[in-house]
């Protein structure tokens, strides 16, 4: 049975003293955002978030004194673009997390009104909150609101560098493979190509979409690199093929890649 690497409560920190000042907006009381409420209580015990209501002009004092603003977005058009821009302009001294619900994930680059550096899917909220607490404590480098996706990868990868791991990435999606190789290189890995004869520590294989040739491909990898761990990347971990050692959700973030690498024998 392969191990599944996913974010959870253990990614958080213990009590922070003094507590940061937090504003909470959106439909945070909805069932899908239970993880947001739970992680705030777990990682920041004793901290009581203050409610932030759009439009935000009448709450400028609260925004000015906030350390962290969490926006729970249930669907793509929930907030007007000008309201989002106003919050971004006013929250210059606060860290901002926009937590996307399931309906928002399909909006992606085309309909999002928030910069890539502040938005996070709901299953990565625990990880992002833990990192923003470290930023607030001064132990992690903040990702600027204006950061591109590549800049965000570079900054976040500095948190969890892995040294001297030799890996191979296989994917039918060339753009995804290049992104993953860049992320792994940022974590300190040595990237090999399929025709290299170096001994591999791990093979990262994109198993989406499922197809009949995957089992043959996995057997071939085992024959070529019997000592390597096979780490499958999938949007649907429960559907990953047998024969892999670890499954990492594609949207679970680079911290989970680092966690998978640390688990290597």
* pLDDT tens, per residue, the chain with 265 residues: 666 655 443 333 333 445 788 999 999 999 999 999 999 999 998 888 988 887 777 778 888 888 999 999 998 888 889 989 989 998 888 999 999 988 887 665 556 789 989 999 998 999 899 889 888 877 788 899 989 888 888 887 777 665 578 999 999 999 999 988 988 887 778 999 888 878 899 999 999 988 888 888 899 989 989 999 999 999 888 888 888 999 998 877 666 777 788 778 7
Domain shared by 131 and 190, yes or no: no
CATH number at residue 31: 3.40.50
State the pLDDT at residue 255.
Answer: 66
Q: Which two tokens stand for residue 38?
A: 């739970």
Q: In this structure, are 121 and 239 located in the same domain?
A: no
Q: How far apart are CA 117 and CA 97, in angstroms?
A: 9
Q: What are phi and psi of 4, to 5 degrees?
A: -105, 125
Asked if residue 213 belongs to a domain, the reply is yes
In what order do the strands lie in the sheet containing 166-170? 3-5, 246-249, 229-234, 202-206, 166-170, 190-192
Q: How far apart are the first and last CA of the chain?
A: 17
Q: Which residues of 238-255 are buried (b: 16+ CB within 10 A; e: fewer)?
A: eebbeebbbbbbbebbbb
Please give the full DSSP string across 203-220, using - where no structure is assigned. Answer: EEEE--S--TTHHHHHHH
Q: What's the domain count of the chain?
A: 2
Phi, psi of 73 (to 5 degrees): -110, 120
Residue 119, domain member (yes or no): yes
Report the Cα 72 to chain-centroid distance in Å: 16
| In contact, 252 and 7? CB cutoff 8 Å | yes
| Whether the Cβ atoms of residue 124 and residue 251 lie closer than 8 Å to each other | yes
Q: What share of the chain is helix, strand, coil (3-state, %, to 5)?
A: 40, 20, 45
Both 145 and 175 in a single domain? no
User: Does residue 124 form part of some domain?
Assistant: yes
Q: Name the token pair of 140.
A: 């992690």
Calpha distance 165→171 (Å, rounded): 19
pTM over 0.85, yes/no: no
Paired tokens of 131: 């990192």
Q: Looking at the domain assignment, is residue 237 inside a domain?
A: yes
The token pair that represents 202 in the structure block: 């791990």
Q: What Cα–Cα distance (Å) separates residue 47 from each residue in 94, 95, 133?
A: 16, 16, 13
Q: What Å distances lie between residue 75 and 20, 98, 113, CA to CA?
A: 28, 12, 12
Q: Based on the domain organization, do 129 and 237 belong to the same domain?
A: no
Q: Examine the fold and report which residue of 150, 184, 213 is the final residue of a domain before the chain moves on.
A: 150
Q: Which domain holds residue 99?
A: 3-150
Q: Are residues 8 and 137 in the same domain?
A: yes
């Amino acid at each position: 049975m392969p191990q599944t690497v996913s974010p959870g409560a253990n990614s958080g920190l213990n009590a922070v003293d003094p507590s940061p000042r937090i504003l909470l907006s959106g439909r945070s009381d909805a069932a899908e955002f239970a993880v947001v409420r739970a992680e705030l209580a777990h990682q920041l015990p004793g901290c009581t978030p203050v409610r932030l209501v759009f439009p935000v002009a009448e709450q400028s004092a609260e925004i000015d004194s906030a350390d962290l603003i969490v926006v729970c977005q249930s669907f793509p058009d929930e907030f007007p673009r000008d309201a989002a821009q106003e919050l971004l302009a006013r929250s210059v001294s606060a860290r901002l997390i926009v937590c996307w619900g399931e309906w928002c994930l399909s909006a992606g680059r085309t309909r999002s009104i928030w910069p890539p550096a502040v938005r996070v899917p709901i299953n990565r909220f625990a990880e992002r909150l833990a990192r923003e607490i470290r930023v607030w404590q001064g132990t992690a480098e903040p990702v600027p609101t204006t950061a591109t996706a590549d800049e965000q990868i570079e900054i976040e990868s500095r948190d969890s560098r892995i040294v001297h791991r030799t890996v191979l990435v296989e994917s039918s999606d060339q753009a995804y493979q290049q992104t993953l190789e860049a992320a792994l290189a940022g974590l300190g890995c040595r990237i090999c190509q399929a025709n290299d004869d170096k001994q591999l520590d791990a093979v990262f294989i994109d198993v989406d979409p499922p197809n009949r040739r995957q089992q043959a491909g996995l057997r071939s990898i085992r024959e070529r690199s019997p000592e390597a761990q096979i780490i499958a990347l999938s949007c649907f971990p429960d559907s990953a093929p047998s024969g892999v050692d670890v499954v990492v959700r594609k949207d679970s973030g680079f911290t989970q890649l680092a966690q998978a690498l640390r688990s290597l024998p």
